[in-house]
């Protein structure tokens, strides 16, 4: 059986996080490069990774919700840091559920317009 130190485990986790954020960043750039053209890939990656790690700390588990949130962050630099979003995430017991509810409200508002 292989025994790993805490540092080794942390490096594996960081490598997985890095790979996931890289995948999301590349997908965003491939699909919506015009929406992030005024920012370097390095800066975008750094913002996405910080946000991703924040979401993990908030116990987000649903990959689709994480991906959705990261897209919002990519397109709006102030999204994650805005007091309105932070207040919304911290309003209930589950930030992930709060975000899910936020998306539902947004969808309902968009459907009303159409």
Tens digit of pLDDT for each residue in 63-110? Answer: 999 999 999 999 999 999 999 999 999 998 999 999 999 999 999 999
Instruction: Quote the domain boundaries for residue 89.
Output: 7-113
Give the residue-averaged pLDDT of 24-49.
95
pLDDT at 49: 98
pLDDT at 4: 79
In a domain, 1, yes or no: no
| Three-class secondary structure of residue 59 per DSSP | coil
pLDDT at 6: 86
| Three-class secondary structure of residue 37 per DSSP | coil
In a domain, 85, yes or no: yes
In a domain, 2, yes or no: no
In a domain, 26, yes or no: yes
pLDDT at 24: 98
Percent of residues in the chain assigned helix, strand, coil, to nearest 5: 75, 0, 25
Q: How confident is the prediction for the chain on average, in pLDDT? A: 94
**Is the pLDDT confidence value at 35 over 80?**
yes
In a domain, 86, yes or no: yes
**Is the pLDDT confidence value at 1 over 90?**
no
Report the alpha-carbon angle 12-89-59, nearest 5.
25
In a domain, 17, yes or no: yes
In a domain, 33, yes or no: yes
Total number of domains constituting the chain: 1
User: Is residue 33 a contact partner of residue 51, using CB atoms and an 8 Å limit?
Assistant: no
CA distance 81 to 51: 9
CA distance 14 to 29: 22
């Amino acid at each position: 059986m292989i025994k790993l130190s805490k540092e080794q485990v942390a490096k594996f986790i960081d490598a997985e996080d890095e790979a996931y954020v890289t995948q999301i960043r590349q997908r965003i750039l491939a699909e919506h490069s015009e929406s992030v053209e005024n920012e370097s890939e390095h800066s975008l990656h750094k913002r996405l990774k910080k946000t991703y790690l924040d979401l993990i700390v908030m116990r987000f588990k649903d990959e689709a919700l994480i991906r959705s949130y990261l897209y919002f962050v990519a397109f709006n630099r102030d999204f994650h840091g805005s007091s309105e979003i932070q207040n919304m995430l911290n309003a209930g017991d589950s930030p992930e559920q709060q975000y899910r509810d936020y998306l539902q409200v947004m969808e309902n508002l968009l459907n009303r317009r159409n």
